[in-house]
Every structure is written in structure tokens, then in C-alpha cells.
Amino acid sequence: MKILSVMEVQKIKQRFGIIGNGVGLNRAIDIAMQVAPTDLSVLITGESGVGKEVFPQIIHQHSTRKHGAYIAVNCGAIPEGTIDSELFGHEKGSFTGATDHRKGYFEVANGGTIFLDEVADLPLSTQVRLLRVLETGEFIKVGSSKVMKTNVRVIAATNVDVMKAIQNGKFREDLYYRLNTVPIFIPPLRDRVEDIHLLFRKFANDFADKYRMPPIALDDEAQRMLEAYDWPGNIRQLKNITEQISVIEHNRNLTMETFRKYLPNYTGARLPAVIAHDDHKSFASEREILYKVLFDMKNDMNDLKKLVLEMLNKDTSTSDVHQNNAQLIQKLYQSVDPVAPANSSKTIEIVRQEHNIEDTEEVLEESLSLSDKEIEMIKKALEKHSGKRKLAASELGISERTLYRKIKEYNLE
């Protein structure tokens, strides 16, 4: 298939009211035109408000089905209890309120195109029915046992992350691959910076004609603010704000200060958002506690060494040195093990030989492995509470279930 010329793309934009020259936008139009003559299913993705509803019309109007019916269905706006009846029809008496038989959209649009907007909102049971239509062209009305045939092209759209919905069990993976034969992605407005001011001027002129007043305009600073804003609601938000300003503001030339009032949560910069994940909360909490214990131990050890060296450099009496060091060592030990007895001793000792103070420090290779520290702390807690796991878990600040898992993991039975 040939690539569309610039002139052909401009004609399509004029016909369907598309504003902008962004690379991603032009690419989406090109794909829509290439796939239009076929009967392949198309899945259109993009954030809310980017204009996904225009592309099914482009595909339908340039297909062999353009003289057939075109039906757009907002799947998120139809209650779950009636969605099957809306799409596939029902027989008289099939449910309360079914006073007559009814044709569904797939029967009415036979030979044409159905656009399923927000397809990810379909219930799982309806997704099964839709998959059968896509694969065989067959469906059954609600309350009927007769299999019916239809020849309908399906174009779907969604603003959610479908792969994440599949992982969460809210969307069928087989249906996704059946719909996603040809994917079309519509870029958000923040990725089409060069188009933002064009759209603003278009909307400003449209509302000036609608309300019979001069169009609004932006000064240079306000225009830079317009292009720097993130536009989470995309084109829909830009259009609504432009209409607000057109109606409310008496001064038709907007300054930065005036324009700022209409931009919610404007920060002046596009910074990445920090997204907090809830996965593995208990493990993360335990790991943070262990890291804190290790860092506190290291800091206390360094402080101890500094203080001992300071006292050794001063001509302090031996008894004072031993007394001060004993207190510092006890403090260090209790910072590591809060339940340690008051008469505990460590492996550090200071001895004086031949009137010379010699620092003989027995250094043990200390493991910094988190698992080793976990085992050590669990053993101490169990010993303190005579093997009572509930009390030991409370002492460690973890759940009893987590303690059971750790005991099993480290073979501490």
C-alpha cells in the first residue's frame, strides 16, 4: 500500500476536523487509511480526550462498508445487566421488562461497522460473546437458542492499559489479540506541543462565532504557559478551558497571570510523577528495619573508636579509660540488642601493658548479609520469649505469619 501524500493527509484532516501536524498524529492517520479497505479489526489506544472517536469514522468512510451502517457504542455507559441485550438483542420474555423481541447492534449493523468505545469496560461474560463474533461471525440473542450470523467490522478503543487489565483478570487475553490485529495509538496533547496553540486558536474562533464576540488571544508569556502545561485531559480539557475563558473574560487579550487562573495544578514544569507500588510491603518494611540497624551499628562503632582514641591521646588514668570504655561498649551493645543484660561484654578490650596503652581490638569478620541478620534477630527473639512465636513476632515488629514463613525459610524449626 502506498504512503499518503501531504495533500491527501490534509484533505482527511479538513474533512474530519483534525487540527495539528504532529508526527504521531500523522502516523495514526496514515495507518487508519492503510487499513480502511480491509476487514481487519482495529484497536485504538490513547488517553482520554485525545480524539479516538474520529479514527473509526475515517476507517469506515474509506472502506467498502461506507454505505452500510455505522454504530458507535460507549461500553462504559451501558449497565452490565443490559449490555448483552444492547449488543446482541433479546427475545420476548427473556427477562423482566422484555415485553418484545429486540434486535441488537450486531444484527442492525450487519454489513457495516461497529465502534466499541471503552471496550475494556465490558464484563467478562460479554467479552466471551464478543470473541465468538470476531472469530466466527456468530452470536445468540439473550433468551434464545438460535445461532445467528452477522458480517460486521469491529473497531474498538480504550484509554486503559490493556496489558495491566489482563494481568488483573479484567480483560481476556485472547480477545485482546483478536481486537489488536491492527493497533493505532493516538499521542497525548503534551507530546504534540507544536499543535497546542493551533488547537487553542481554532477553539477560540469557534466560540467567538458561537457567542458572537471577538476571539480571545494570548500574549507571548501566556502562549508559553499554554504549551508548557501538561494537559492531562488533552484536547477535551483544552476545548473546555478555551470556552470558559471566551465566556468569562472581558479582556480578549490574555496575560500570563489571567491565563494561569484557568490551569489547574499548573507547576510550570513537566516533572515525572512518583508512583508508589503496594507490592511486597511487608518485605520492604523488614528490609528497611534491617538496613537501619546495620547503619546504626556502623555509626555507633565509628563513634566508639573516635572517643576511645581521644581518651587515649589525653593522659587519662587507666581506671577512667576502662570505666568510660565499659559504658560506651555497653551502650553500643544495647543499641544492637535492646534486651541485652546490663553486664554483657563485647570482644573489644583495652589493656595497658608496661605503662603503654595498647589498643588490642579483636575484629570479627561481620557478615552484612540481610538473611544472616534476620536469622540472628529471629533466634534472639525466640530465645528471649522461650520459643513463643507470637511474642517473638511482636518483639520483631512483624506479623506472626511472616515469622512462621521466615522460620520455615531459614530452617529454624
Q: Which fold has domain 6-92+101-187?
A: Rossmann fold (3.40.50)
Share of the chain above pLDDT 90, in %: 57
| Measured CA distances, 116 to 16, 124, 377 (Å) | 19, 15, 57
Check residue 333 and give its pLDDT: 54
Common-topology check for domains 6-92+101-187 and 370-409: no
Q: Which fold has domain 190-260?
A: Helicase, Ruva Protein; domain 3 (1.10.8)
Residues 305 and 390: their CA atoms lie apart, in Å, by: 38
Count of beta carbons in the 10 Å neighbourhood of residue 153 = 23
Domain residue limits, the chain:
6-92+101-187, 190-260, 282-361, 370-409
Q: What are phi and psi of 351, to 5 degrees?
A: -120, 150
Four-residue CA torsion sign, 33, 35, 41, 47: negative
Four-residue CA torsion sign, 276, 281, 285, 287: negative
Check residue 244 and give its pLDDT: 95
Cβ proximity of 109 and 137 under 8 Å: no
Residues 294 and 309: their CA atoms lie apart, in Å, by: 23
Q: SS3 helix, strand, coil % of the chain, rounded to 5?
A: 50, 10, 35
Which helix or strand (DSSP H or E) is residue 138 part of?
strand 138-140
Sequence-distant (6+) residues with CB within 8 A of 330 are 342, 344
Question: In this structure, what C-alpha cell is assigned to residue 348?
Answer: 573489644
Nearest to 123 by CA among 181, 191, 169, 182: 169
Question: In this structure, what C-alpha cell is assigned to residue 153?
Answer: 467490522
Check residue 280 and give its pLDDT: 45
Check residue 278 and give its pLDDT: 46
Sequence-distant (6+) residues with CB within 8 A of 91 are 98, 101, 141, 142, 143, 144
Check residue 81 and give its pLDDT: 85
Chain centroid, CA 306 distance in Å: 49
Q: Taking the chain (413 residues) in consecutive chunks of 10 residues, what is each chunk's mean pLDDT?
A: 77 93 93 95 96 96 96 93 92 84 94 96 95 95 93 96 95 95 96 95 95 94 94 95 94 93 72 46 54 71 75 58 58 52 45 44 56 83 84 83 81 77
Check residue 298 and give its pLDDT: 73
Q: pLDDT for 22-55, tens place per residue?
A: 999 999 999 999 999 999 999 999 999 999 999 9
Nearest to 151 by CA among 213, 103, 108: 108
Nearest to 28 by CA among 2, 46, 11: 46
Residue carrying the nine cell digits 469496560: 121
Burial class (CB in 10 A: 0-12, 13-18, 19+), 224: middle
Check residue 354 and give its pLDDT: 42
List, in sequence order, every residue forming a beta bridge with 139; answer none if it has no partner.
148
Check residue 286 and give its pLDDT: 58
- Assigned architecture for domain 370-409: Orthogonal Bundle (1.10)
